[in-house]
Amino acid sequence: MAERLSLSSRHRKMIEALLRRHLPEVEVWVYGSRINGRSHGGSDLDLALRAPRLRRIDADRLKALSDAFRESNIPFLVEARDWACLPENFHREIEKNHVVLVYGEQSTEKPRF
């Protein structure tokens, strides 16, 4: 698993704050170019949102989070997808290479970068 996240600490803090405000119980995994060494400054940030017991996240809450990202000063696209809505083959690919950005409220573990 990748241990390095290509994201400035300033932007990481902004993203984490929005995630904790809108979906505090959700564990968030980063996947894609921001962890596989192929990103550049304008690369999007791909997030998989894993609700407790991997249940679906309410659509209104997802929209509020998406709106918050869009209205923020984050200078790149943040793509946040509900794990429960992703196809199984996507799950397998993400599980192979991801970094945990935010642990859910009930987790005692801390992110490692």
Residues contacting residue 55 through CB under 8 Å, at least 6 positions apart: 84
Query: Active-site residue among 44, 58, 60, 82?
Result: 44
Query: Active-site residue among 46, 60, 67, 82?
Result: 46
Is-catalytic flag, 44? yes
Instruction: Yes or no: say if 28 and 50 are a contact pair by the CB < 8 Å rule.
Output: yes
Residues contacting residue 60 through CB under 8 Å, at least 6 positions apart: none
Which residue is associated with the tokens 């997030």? 47
Which strand ranges, in their side-by-side order, compose the sheet holding 27-31?
78-82, 45-50, 27-31, 99-102
Instruction: Yes or no: say if 45 and 76 are a contact pair by the CB < 8 Å rule.
Output: yes
Which residues are the active-site residues?
44, 46
